[in-house]
Amino acid sequence: MGSQHEVQGFVKAAGKKLVNGSGQEILLRGVGFGSWLLPEGYMWHFPDEGDRPRRIEKMIAELVGEEKAAEFWNLYYDRYTAKADIQRIAAEGFNSVRVPINARLLIEDGEPLRVKNERLKLIDRVIDWCRQHSLYVILDLHGAPGGQTGTNIDDSENNKPELFTNPANRRLTIALWRMLAERYKDEWIVAGYDLLNEPLPNWFAEYNDQVMPLYEEIIKAIREVDQRHMIILEGVHWATDWSIFDKKPDNNLMLQFHKYWNHPDTESIQPFLDQRDKWQVPIYMGEGGENNSDWFAGAFQLYEDHDISWNFWTWKKLDCTNSPCSVNQPEDWQLLINYLKGGSKPDHHLAERILWSYLENLTLERCTYRPEVVNALFRRPPARIPAIFYGYKGAGESFGIGKQADHNIGFRVGDGMDIRFVEDVRDKPNFEHMKGEKWKADEWMYVQLAPKDWAAYTFTIPVVSAPPAYSIEIYIRTKPGGAISVSLDDTFVGYAAAQDDNWQLVLLPIPFAVSAGQHRIVLCAEGLIAQIQWFQIAP
C-alpha cells in the first residue's frame, strides 16, 4: 500500500478503475488538510461564534490588531502544513492528499477575477513537496465564492448558499477553476479537480437542480485549457445524495461521497456502488473520519474491499485522539473560547502569548503523534479489529456460514452472519448517540459463530528490516468443549478457548515470522458456538 511506484503520471479514470500514467490500476489512499487554507472552528474547539474563517479572523484582529493578525495568518499557513508533514504522510504509506481551498483566500471580492498570487504560492509549494515525496494532490474547492452550502464549512457570510443565488458568484467560481486548471494543466502530481465540497444540505434542496448545470459550466471552462486532469464531482447533502447525477458530463470523471459515524457496511454505500456500475466510473470516499480507531478499522477496510479510493479527514487538529497529529492546546486557550461566547476580552499581550503558543504547537515536531489512528486505517499492527469487521468481499471469501441468522440488528444484514449485541443497548436512552460519533463497536456488538462457521480478516505488515514475531489476542466467549481455531495465510496457528462462560482475552503467539505485506486471518468455531468481540495483532 502507498508504495511510491504507484505515483507516476497523470491519474485518469478507466472504466470503474483509476489508473496512473503507466496504466497501472491504483487506489488513492490519502489524508485531508482540514483547517489549513479554510480554518474550521471545531478544529480549534471554538463555539459557533468562531466556527468559520471570517469569524476566527475577526476575533484575532480584535485581540491583537490588524498588523499582528496579518503576521499570525502568515505563520499559520506556513506551519499548519509544512514539508515535514508531507514527508511524514508519505513515510506512513499514504499516496495522496486532499487540499481544501477557500476561494476568499485566493481571490479578491467581486468581479473580475483578481488572484492573490502570494496565497496561490502556498498551493504551488505543497504541490512541489508532494511531487518530491510521491503524493498525488487533489484540489478541493471547499469554500466557493458566496458559499455552496450556506454553513460554517464553506465560510459563508450569511448562512446561505449564495453561490446559487448570486450570478456573480457563479461566474467567479467558473473563472477560478479555469485559472487553476490553466496554472496546473501540466502538473501530473495533481490527481484531479474536486469542483465543490458538499454542496447544498437538504434544507437548501430547492437549489439542487442548479448543481449539475454549474458542474457542466465549470467542466467546459476547465476543458478549454486542460484536457488531461480528472474531474471529481460530489453529490448534494454532505456529498451523500447522488440523485443529481442524471447525465455523465465528462469522460475522465470520478464521483465522490463522504461518510461519517454511521454503520460501515456495504448496505450503507450501495447507492454509490450502483451509480458506479451505471456510469462505469471510479468512486471516491473523499472525506471521512472524526470517529474512533475501531470504526476506522471497519470503514476503511470497507472501501478497500470494494475498490474505492479514500481520504481520511483530517491530518491535524487541536487536542484530539482521532487524527494522526494532535496540536497541543496552549495554556489559557479557554480565555479565547470565553471571549467568543461574550466573555471578557483578554488584554493584547495575553492574547498574543496564547495565539503565538498555538502557532508554535502547530509544527509536526511539536504535535502529539497518534500512530494508532494510522494503524487502524491500514490495519497495521499493533491494531485492534472488532470482529464485526470481517471482510466485505462476500461469502466464500470473507466468511462462511452454515445457515443465515434468523434475526438481525440492522448491521451487515445482507451477509446473514449472526451479529449480536453484548447487551440490549437498544433500550438505552443514548443508543442513537452511540451509533453516532461515539460509535464503539467493540463495546456492544459481537459475532456469534456456529460450529464450522468462519470469518476472515486482512491486515498489513509494514516493510521493516527484520520482521518481528507477532501474537494474536482474541476477546472471546466459548462454552466448555468449544474453541476457535485460528489460521494465518492458510497455516494453522492454534486454538483459542475461554475457561468459562465469561468474556476472556486469550493470547496466541504466532509460531513463525510474518513478512511484510497483506495477510489473512481466519477464525473458525470448533465444537460449539463461539462468540468474538475483537482481536488484536501485536508485536
Do 310 and 424 belong together in one domain?
no
Give the residue from 377, 392, 426 where a domain finishes.
Answer: 377
Model confidence at 3, pLDDT cuts 50, 70, 90, reads low
Q: Is the pLDDT of residue 246 over 90?
A: yes
Residue span of the structural domain in which 425 resides: 381-538
Do 373 and 387 belong together in one domain?
no
Q: Is the pLDDT of residue 443 over 70?
A: no
Average pLDDT over residues 517-538: 95
Do 309 and 279 belong together in one domain?
yes
Model confidence at 5, pLDDT cuts 50, 70, 90, reads confident
Q: What is the pLDDT of residues 405-418, one digit of tens each?
A: 998 888 999 999 99
Q: Is the pLDDT of residue 264 over 70?
A: yes
Instruction: Give the pLDDT confidence score for residue 138 in this predicted structure.
Output: 99
What does pLDDT average to over the chain? Answer: 94
Model confidence at 263, pLDDT cuts 50, 70, 90, reads very high
Per the CB < 8 A criterion, the answer to whether 526 and 448 are in contact is: no
Q: Model-level pTM? A: 0.95
Do 409 and 448 belong together in one domain?
yes
Instruction: Give the pLDDT confidence score for residue 513 in this predicted structure.
Output: 84
Instruction: Give the pLDDT confidence score for residue 433 in this predicted structure.
Output: 43
Instruction: Give the pLDDT confidence score for residue 428 in this predicted structure.
Output: 52
Q: How far apart, in whole angstroms, are the C-alpha atoms of residue 195 and residue 215?
A: 7
Q: Is the pLDDT of residue 424 over 90?
A: no
Do 349 and 443 belong together in one domain?
no
Do 373 and 438 belong together in one domain?
no
From the CB of residue 97, how many other CB atoms can be counted at a distance below 10 Å? 28
Model confidence at 467, pLDDT cuts 50, 70, 90, reads low
The structural domain count of the chain equals: 2
Burial of 417 (0-12, 13-18, 19+ CB in 10 A): buried
Q: What is the pLDDT of residues 35-55, one digit of tens each?
A: 999 999 999 999 999 999 999
Model confidence at 154, pLDDT cuts 50, 70, 90, reads very high
What 3-state DSSP class applies to 234? strand
Instruction: Give the pLDDT confidence score for residue 435 in this predicted structure.
Output: 44
Q: What CATH number should be reported for the domain holding residue 125?
A: 3.20.20.80
Do 104 and 197 belong together in one domain?
yes
Give the residue from 377, 395, 427 where a domain finishes.
Answer: 377
Per-residue CA distances from 386 to 297, 302, 421, 422 (Å) = 8, 13, 13, 13
Do 388 and 371 belong together in one domain?
no
Do 31 and 179 belong together in one domain?
yes
Q: How many helices (H) and strands (E) does the chain have?
A: 14, 25
Q: Is the pLDDT of residue 97 over 80?
A: yes
Q: Is the pLDDT of residue 466 over 80?
A: no
Average pLDDT over residues 493-507: 91
Do 275 and 414 belong together in one domain?
no
Q: What CATH number should be reported for the domain holding residue 392?
A: 2.60.120.260
pLDDT-above-90 percentage for the chain: 88
Model confidence at 261, pLDDT cuts 50, 70, 90, reads confident
Instruction: Give the pLDDT confidence score for residue 479 in this predicted structure.
Output: 87
Do 241 and 368 belong together in one domain?
yes
Give the residue from 377, 404, 424 where a domain finishes.
Answer: 377
Q: Which has the closest alpha carbon to 472: 381, 378, 374?
A: 381
Average pLDDT over residues 436-459: 80
Q: Is the pLDDT of residue 462 over 90?
A: no
Instruction: Give the pLDDT confidence score for residue 1 in this predicted structure.
Output: 45
Q: What is the pLDDT of residues 55-96, one digit of tens each?
A: 999 999 999 999 999 999 999 999 999 999 999 999 999 999
Residues forming beta bridges with residue 140, ordered by sequence position: 100, 194
Q: What is the pLDDT of residues 170-204, one digit of tens each?
A: 999 999 999 999 999 999 999 999 999 999 999 99
Do 371 and 387 belong together in one domain?
no
